Structure 1
Amino acid sequence: MTSETLLLIGRETAHAQEMLETHADRLARRGVVEEVDAVTYEREPVRELRSRLRSIPGDRVYVMPVCVAHTFETVRGLPAALSFVSGTVQYCEPVGWNPAITDVIVQRATDQIQAGPDVSLVLVGFGSSSKPYHRQMAEYHATRLREGTAYGDVHACYLVQDPAIECARYAISNDRAVAVPLFLTHCEATERRIPEQLEPTGIEYTDPLGTHPLVTDAIHAELEKQRVLAVGESTAFEARLTATQRPVATDGEGPD
């Protein structure tokens, strides 16, 4: 019988390991696989995770990048680092695309202000000057929220691309508004940069998505999706990443 491991991987921040372990503990108690593990890296997945990845057990290893959308590291360095895993790797899609995340956004927002036609909702993503992943994910949820909630209007803004956070006050149509950061854990961006830019706008601000139980459900759902994909030859974006990305030997990071 094939043994399975779920590996949660996140970018290192002050609260990342705690967040990952919370989700890992819940999933382990559910018995979703034989083993659930959680690791973080600071900047260079290949260099920092190589030794740890070699020790990961399991014939099949489901690797979940615990972030809301792909980043430069999750499409380059992280899939390259996964070549050090001895088992068959099933690389998962970030959880930000799961519909359950829309429900987490609503719950975070209503903790501050009850939804209604006189309330605006602002989604704050990290964004990217060159990659579309964060914008696509934010707009996906913005569309679902416009169609399925009572908010008067819903807008997305970003830290590092337009529309910028400080422009949110010009986009919203109501005096009462709440902003939800599309991040999975507290970090420098959620604790300093976003609040500083929101402060002049008067927009209320919530906690990140974090350890909400529905985030755990989203991780579980992605695992089950990958189980189905593992039966055949997947053409998914993540499968192509693990098939094509490798450590670069000229940088001293190739297989040894």
Structure 2
Amino acid sequence: MQALVIVAHGSHLNPDASTPTYDHADTIREAGVFDEVRTGFWKEEPSFREVLRTVESDEVYVVPLFISEGYFTEEVIPRELRLDEWDLEAWDSDGTSATHATFEAADVEKTIHYCGPVGTHDAMSDVIVRRAESVTGDPEVGEGVALAVVGHGTERNENSAKAVRLHADRIDAMDRFEEVEALFMDEDPEVDDVTDFFETEDVVVVPLFVADGYHTQEDIPEDMGLTEDYRTGWETPAEVEGHRIWYAGAVGTEALTADVLIERAADAGADVGDAIEEVREKTRTVGTDPDAGTTGDTGRDADAEAGAEAGD
């Protein structure tokens, strides 16, 4: 038997923080390739420390639903899962290239295939593009349109910015969009000045965050000038200094993210059959993002922002 365990940050304060995790788990369960699909959280139940005890399978693929490598993926999760032989060198990573490492979790007598975070997998570039398709309602979006991939950026974790640049460079190499730039909240180039970086009139802005929280639904919209007060919402697209800004929700809320979770497990040796193709087909529902131009009361969620690697 093989199981997939999706581990994410969660939040005590923002009830929407875990919604993408549950949604992707449901999508993968419906694909039927794992005998079990479980979720575990840092700030919700079941916890990282207990989640393996909810699994009956003896072969377990653990995939972090995090944006970048860093404190949580390198220290917290391995410690809480009791991967006693964990050594960062097992990933042999340059900060964005972690794939997987296999350990025996003696206390639960299971083989644990610990995978790199979804946010650095090559397939996440496709999710970013799909997010652009969703918010514009155009499955062919690209010609005459620019793309901004937005991340947190922080001196505490340089890998946070590496992940954003990785995908911006990969998408730029596709030659699909007129211009592609990586922008940040807390380092240069800053998303506040989004219109300064593009000549193209139409700009799609996709935040590389796992879930929508105060950064994606409050800070970034106000910083870009989409609205003076996030509580009043904003138009999609919004007119800002001669540009039309199409602002998408967090990339991790895109249904195609479920495919990346499966691909991470497959890279570690999981038998997933045709699930990757099936999930890609099932999630190919293109239409205007109903949440792209409105906001809810997300609150100031310190829990979900404890590490820039986690995303909102």
Pairwise TM-score range, normalised by the shorter structure: 0.7 to 0.9
Residue 192 (structure 2) pairs with residue 166 (structure 1): yes
Shift of 1:6: 1.0
Residue 123 (structure 2) pairs with residue 100 (structure 1): yes
For residue 262 of structure 2, the aligned residue among 196, 220, 237 is 220
Shift of 1:27: 1.6
User: SS of 2:37's equivalent?
Assistant: strand
For residue 133 of structure 2, the aligned residue among 110, 113, 117 is 110
Shift of 1:117: 5.2
Aligned equivalents of 1:53, 1:83: Cα separation in 2: 10
Shift of 1:112: 4.1
User: SS of 1:184's equivalent?
Assistant: coil
Shift of 1:194: 1.3
Correspondence for 2:37: 36
Aligned equivalents of 2:222, 2:187: Cα separation in 1: 17
Runs of 4+ in 1 over 4 A off after TM superposition: none
Call closer, same or farther: CA 1:155–1:59 in 2, change over 3 Å.
same
| Greater shift in the superposed pair: 80-89 or 139-148 | 80-89
Correspondence for 2:21: 20
Shift of 1:20: 1.4
The superposition leaves residues 36-79 of structure 1 with CA deviations (integer Å, 9 ceiling, x where unpaired) of 10122229x9x953244444332222111112222422211111
Aligned equivalents of 1:27, 1:38: Cα separation in 2: 12
Correspondence for 1:11: 9
For residue 146 of structure 2, the aligned residue among 120, 124, 128 is 120
Residue 179 (structure 2) pairs with residue 153 (structure 1): yes
Correspondence for 1:251: none
Question: Percent identical across equivalent pairs?
Answer: 27
2:131, 2:254 within 8 Å by CA — same for their partners in 1? Answer: no
- Whichever residue aligns with residue 221 of structure 1, its letter is E
Q: Comparing both structures, which one devotes a greater share of its residues to helix? A: 1
1:199-210 map, 5 Å: 199=225, 202=240, 203-210=245-252
TM-score normalised by L of structure 1: 0.77
Structure 1: runs of 5+ lacking an equivalent: 229-256
Residue 60 (structure 2) pairs with residue 61 (structure 1): yes
Aligned equivalents of 2:262, 2:175: Cα separation in 1: 25
Aligned equivalents of 2:55, 2:129: Cα separation in 1: 36
- Whichever residue aligns with residue 102 of structure 1, its letter is S
- Whichever residue aligns with residue 252 of structure 2, its letter is G
2:27, 2:258 within 8 Å by CA — same for their partners in 1? Answer: yes
1:64, 1:91 within 8 Å by CA — same for their partners in 2? Answer: yes
TM-score normalised by L of structure 2: 0.64
The superposition leaves residues 95-123 of structure 1 with CA deviations (integer Å, 9 ceiling, x where unpaired) of 12333322222232234446455432111
Shift of 1:222: 0.9
